[in-house]
Amino acid sequence: MLTHFDPQLRGLLSHPALAAVIVPSRTEPFGRIPLEAFAAGAAPVVATTAGGLAELVIDGLTGYTAQSRHPASLAAAISRALACDSAGRARLRVASRRLAVTRYDHAQAVAAFCAEVAPWTVTTGK
């Protein structure tokens, strides 16, 4: 169990013995932990629906969700994650990786920012 940042986190997130990544946040502006888990291939991710977590951890698609500040809901989501079989973990892993790559691709984000803020910097290829 990790309760704080550790530089070895990426290696731990991809470890085959990992049963679940649990993010029990009461408030969460963005959702960096699930994104790191998605990028590392960790599955399943269990998170509350606090803030940005609700946009990343989609119940049954990219992980399992629980109501924020509701221990029984969190316990139920953890139980679902632990009961997930290898095919379910693979499905969650593919969907979560796809979400991370399509929504948070660095090159796409920079291009979209430039197109919005400084459109003259973007070439159209014509």
Angstrom distance (rounded) from CA 66 to CA 24: 8
Residue 4 clears pLDDT 70, i.e. is over it: no
pLDDT of res. 11 = 74
Residue 118 clears pLDDT 60, i.e. is over it: yes
Per DSSP, the three-state class of 65 is strand
pLDDT of res. 3 = 66
What is the pTM assigned to this prediction?
A: 0.79
Of 1-15, 38-52, 107-121, the range with the highest mean pLDDT is: 38-52
Domains of the chain: 9-121 (3.40.50.2000)
Distance (Å) of CA 6 to CA 16, 29, 33, 86, 93: 18, 21, 12, 27, 22
pLDDT in tens, 18-70: 899 999 999 988 888 899 899 888 989 999 999 999 999 999 999 999 999 99
Whether the Cβ atoms of residue 93 and residue 43 lie closer than 8 Å to each other: yes
107 vs 123 pLDDT, higher one: 107
Tokens of 24: 């029990």
pLDDT of res. 2 = 64
Q: What is the mean pLDDT of residues 108-124?
A: 85
pLDDT of res. 64 = 98
Q: What stretches of 1-126 show up as alpha helix (H) in DSSP?
A: 9-13, 32-40, 53-56, 71-82, 86-103, 106-117
Average pLDDT over the chain, rounded to an integer: 89
Confidence band of 124 (pLDDT split at 50, 70, 90): low
